[in-house]
Amino acid sequence: MVKGYWVSVYPAISDPERLTAYNKLARPAVQAGGGRLLSRDGRVVAHEAGITQRVVLIEFDSFEQAVAAYESEAYQKALVALPDGVERDFRIIEGID
């Protein structure tokens, strides 16, 4: 089975408190959906058009599981805490075998 990944890049965080509120709700929702945090707030070296701001990488056992976790009621509730204070580039991608 091919793994799925959530990749989040945060070009701007104007309200860190909103991000903290989101994290408190998102972490249990991601774990309940089978997600495993691989990287968050680690060191970043950006090249070309890259940015050095916050990057989060979460792994799921399958692409379908990653999509289902995003669409879950628990994660959708977490997203309510996010919109106004954070700019985020979010993707769900399929791994390779």
Domains of the chain by start residue, with CATH: 4-94 (3.30.70.100)
Q: What single DSSP character describes residue 2?
A: -
Residue from 4, 7, 2 nearest 57 by CA: 7
Q: What is the pTM of this model?
A: 0.90
- pLDDT at residue 84, rounded to an integer: 81
- pLDDT at residue 1, rounded to an integer: 86
Q: What angle do CA 60, 23, 38 make, to 5 degrees?
A: 35
Residue-wise pLDDT for 71-95, tens only, equals 999 999 999 988 787 899 999 999 9
Please state the rounded mean pLDDT for residues 29-52.
91
H or E element at residue 36: strand 36-40
Rounded distance between C-alpha atoms, residue 97 and residue 85, angstroms: 37
Portion of the chain with pLDDT greater than 70, in percent: 100
Residue-wise pLDDT for 17-29, tens only, equals 888 889 999 999 9
